[in-house]
Amino acid sequence: MKAAVLNAFGSPLAIENVPDPLLGTGEVIVDVVASRVLAYANEVLSGERKYLLELPVVPGPGAIGRIRATGPDATRLRPGDWVYCDPTVRSRDNALSPDIALQGLTAGSEGGLRLQRYFHDGAWAEQMRLPTENAVPIGDIDEKDAGRWCALGTLLVPYGGFLAVQLQAGEIALVNGATGSFGSAAVAVALAMGAQCVIATGRNEQALTELTRRFGARVRTVPMHGDEADDRARILQAAPGPIDCVLDILPPVASAMQVRTAVLAVRPHGRVVLMGGVGMQGGAGLDLPYPWMMRNGITLRGQWMYPPHAATLMAGLIRAGLVDLDHFEIAAFGLDRANEAVAHAAAHSGPFRMTVIQPR
């Protein structure tokens, strides 16, 4: 089969003929129809992000495809079924603290490297092998819509955060960092889950205005100017009531002060989930007042990715029309143009913009 292969960090992807993946028990083989290209894929492939990724490798985290073959332990999946290929691969020998690797992207930890060495290659190929539980049925779709369904990979990240803090219908949610790909998706997800109102913060005022145009009065935007006290005051002024939960999804270039600005806006007994990249490139850590957290009963947790059942639920939200994939603007590239796709994703990232590779 044909695949895009990264042989060395900083080198272009090589389009090569590689052996077809071999099926094992507890696994499926999928014919890849479309796979998204992350906006920061160029930083991963260059080695700038220093992700744990053993080379050579076929990159590509997540895909939409059709089942080609299943192992003997699969009881529901059939050849031809449309599935989301979830890149979040978990070890099966520790249910409480599984090691996690993102197939085709990063091992995440030393333990995750052992997973990566087996489920090594990602989705930028005509076929891929993945654990049976990672092939999530999405129902019948038109093949021309496969690229748009790749938005699952973007939507699922903030959805995992809101599941972690148990966002309830009728609550007020704050999305801190709402102008990027994942932050804007978080606004859509919170609304789909029934949030009364979403407070969306960010530095890009044009992107904030677009969120209001796209989603209407349930979204209230707050441009962040960099003065912590003033920014927080304007957040509280914009909210129609006490803020029940905060999702921080700021990128690595943001500061811990920007995180604290939003965290300290949550109501007493409110919940906060951290999903962004602040601190990954160095800098000060997040400093929160101990007495405030203790006396106000604040719940603070980190969340990486999402639970295994999230993809099934998100597919249901899409099927119900609560999440509209038509919001996403798609730029599609064939496998032979994988390097162009990576460059395009870096240059054209932003809210509801997605670059995909279509191997077939």
Task: Write the CATH number for 198.
Answer: 3.40.50.720
**Does 121 reside within a domain?**
yes
How many domains does one find in the chain? 2
DSSP 8-state secondary structure symbol assigned to residue 326: G
Per-residue pLDDT, averaged over 53-57, amounts to 96
Is 360 in contact with 334 (CB distance < 8 Å)? no
Per-residue pLDDT, averaged over 167-173, amounts to 98
Q: Which residues pair with 295 in a beta bridge?
A: none
**Does 313 reside within a domain?**
no
**Does 280 reside within a domain?**
yes
Per-residue pLDDT, averaged over 119-145, amounts to 97
Same domain, 165 and 108: no
Here the CATH number for the domain that contains residue 145 is: 3.90.180.10
Same domain, 254 and 267: yes
Verify cis geometry, omega within 30 degrees of 0, for the bond prior to 56.
yes
- Whole-angstrom distance, CA of residue 269 vs CA of residue 182: 26
**Does 16 reside within a domain?**
yes
Same domain, 99 and 184: no
Cβ atoms within 10 A of the Cβ of 131, count? 21
The per-residue pLDDT for 360 is: 84
Same domain, 337 and 297: no
**Does 220 reside within a domain?**
yes
Answer with the one of 262, 285, 302 that is the final residue of a domain.
302
**Does 312 reside within a domain?**
no
Q: How confident is the model at residue 137 (pLDDT cuts 50, 70, 90)?
A: very high
- Whole-angstrom distance, CA of residue 14 vs CA of residue 359: 14
Same domain, 130 and 160: no
Q: 204: which 2 tokens?
A: 């890009």
Q: How confident is the model at residue 284 (pLDDT cuts 50, 70, 90)?
A: confident
The per-residue pLDDT for 326 is: 95
**Does 115 reside within a domain?**
yes
Q: How confident is the model at residue 108 (pLDDT cuts 50, 70, 90)?
A: confident
Range of the domain at 211: 155-302
Question: Which parts of the chain are beta strand (E)?
Answer: 2-5, 14-17, 27-37, 63-70, 82-85, 88-90, 100-102, 127-131, 135-137, 172-176, 197-202, 219-223, 243-248, 266-274, 299-302, 329-334, 353-358
Is 65 in contact with 30 (CB distance < 8 Å)? yes
CA distances, 157 to each of 9, 118, 204, 303 (Å)? 26, 24, 21, 9
Same domain, 120 and 20: yes
Same domain, 258 and 338: no
Same domain, 135 and 199: no
Q: What percent of the chain has pLDDT over 90?
A: 94
**Does 317 reside within a domain?**
no
Same domain, 133 and 178: no
Give the predicted TM-score (pTM) of the model: 0.94
pLDDT at 28 over 80: yes
Answer with the one of 284, 302, 320 that is the final residue of a domain.
302
Same domain, 168 and 287: yes
Same domain, 290 and 174: yes
Same domain, 114 and 53: yes
